[in-house]
């Protein structure tokens, strides 16, 4: 019992100590056969093919891992929808940043894969860069939330690593998908078996992405220690993939990564923030918030920001972002 508590405590502090469950599965990779989600309608198939082939530039093999379709079926569908050979569309001046549900299949991390086996796509969104890299923009993957802790224990984890409260009870949570809203916004709601419900909303704007997390306490008791880990993974953004923290700044409520050669920056922020940090092997940025303690029937919220910046003066840019009042 004491050993289990220490492992849980260290994970909650953001350290990369593996649980007994994970050690038994070291070297495990996502299983395409169990993670595949076959589109149920033609509209759904077209959306995901455009998402993967055009925007994320997935190979036929990667698309097959996500959809469960054969290469021949994928090729035929791409032709039928006029997507075969189609180029990424130019982003109009002043258009909102492009935000899409992350399709899964392709692991969003470079390293520390044992700490995120079978990542779930329903918490992950891709935010595409406003600049081109090799003829098409890169993207970061925001995992919101990656993990939710409380006085009850680890009540949610967006991949397989340390056992959650539901793993320990042998309860499997159902798969979900982001709802696609007007203006490119996305939202999702996750009910838990004990009456807790939490959700996320992502709203793109021309210069930034506004984010919100909320949690409603449907239990009969007060919830405390509601810490959240929100991860922004940099694997898909060329120039930001160094597996160290030398190019990163941690200034709560912000965590910032700089391009390895250019004055380009990825900026994230969450309020109220309890810790800003980065996991170098992934590599990723964290500006992890904490919900206020939550009484039965109450709903609590955290607000987030994600933006890109080109220029040398990152200090002035962070002050400008502060002045937008994004956290209110």
pLDDT band at 113 (very low <50, low <70, confident <90, very high): low
Tell me: pLDDT of 187 over 90: yes
pTM over 0.95: no
Each residue's pLDDT tens digit, 264-314: 999 999 999 999 999 999 999 999 999 999 999 999 999 999 999 999 999
Q: Please, which residues have CB within 8 angstroms of residue 90's CB and are 6 or more apart in sequence?
A: none
The whole-number pLDDT of residue 294 equals 98
Looking at domain 95-323, its CATH class is mainly beta
Residue-range domain boundaries for the chain: 95-323
Each residue's pLDDT tens digit, 142-174: 999 999 999 999 999 997 668 999 999 999 999
The whole-number pLDDT of residue 93 equals 83
Which residue stretches of 152-308 are H helix?
A: 165-168
Is 107 in contact with 31 (CB distance < 8 Å)?
A: no
Averaged pLDDT for residues 196-204:
98
Each residue's pLDDT tens digit, 83-101: 998 887 778 888 999 999 9
**Percentage of residues in the chain having pLDDT higher than 90:** 76
The whole-number pLDDT of residue 5 equals 40
Is 57 in contact with 136 (CB distance < 8 Å)?
A: yes
Tell me: pLDDT of 21 over 70: no
**Strand, helix or coil at 116?**
coil
Residue 21 CA to chain centroid, in angstroms? 23
């Amino acid at each position: 019992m004491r050993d289990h508590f220490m492992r849980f405590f260290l994970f909650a502090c953001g350290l990369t100590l593996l649980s007994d469950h994970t050690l038994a599965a070291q070297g495990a990779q996502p299983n395409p056969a169990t993670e595949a989600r076959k589109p149920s309608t033609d509209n759904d198939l077209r959306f995901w093919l455009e998402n993967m082939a055009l925007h994320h530039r997935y190979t036929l093999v990667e698309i097959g891992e996500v959809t469960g379709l054969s290469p021949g079926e994928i090729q035929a569908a791409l032709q039928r929808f006029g997507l075969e050979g189609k180029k990424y569309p130019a982003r109009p001046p002043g258009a909102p940043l492009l935000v899409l549900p992350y399709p899964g299949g392709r692991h969003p991390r470079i390293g520390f894969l044992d700490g995120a086996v079978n990542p779930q796509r329903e918490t992950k969104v891709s935010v595409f860069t406003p600049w081109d890299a090799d003829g098409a923009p890169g993207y970061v993957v925001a995992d919101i939330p990656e993990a939710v802790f409380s006085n009850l224990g680890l009540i949610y984890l967006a991949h397989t690593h340390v056992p959650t409260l539901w793993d320990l009870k042998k309860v499997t949570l159902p798969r979900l998908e982001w709802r696609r809203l007007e203006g490119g916004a996305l939202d999702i709601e996750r009910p838990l078996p004990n009456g807790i419900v939490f959700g996320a909303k992502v709203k793109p704007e021309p210069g930034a992405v506004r984010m919100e997390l909320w949690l409603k306490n449907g239990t009969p008791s007060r919830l405390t220690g509601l810490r959240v880990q929100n991860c922004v993974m940099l694997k898909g953004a060329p120039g930001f993939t160094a597996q160290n923290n030398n190019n990163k700044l941690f200034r709560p409520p912000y965590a910032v990564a700089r391009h390895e050669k250019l004055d380009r920056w990825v900026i994230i922020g969450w309020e109220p923030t309890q810790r800003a940090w980065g996991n170098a092997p992934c590599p990723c940025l964290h500006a992890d918030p904490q919900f206020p303690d939550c009484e039965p029937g109450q709903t609590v919220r955290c607000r987030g920001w994600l933006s890109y910046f080109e220029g040398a003066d990152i200090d002035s840019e962070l002050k400008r972002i502060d002045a937008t009042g994004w956290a209110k």
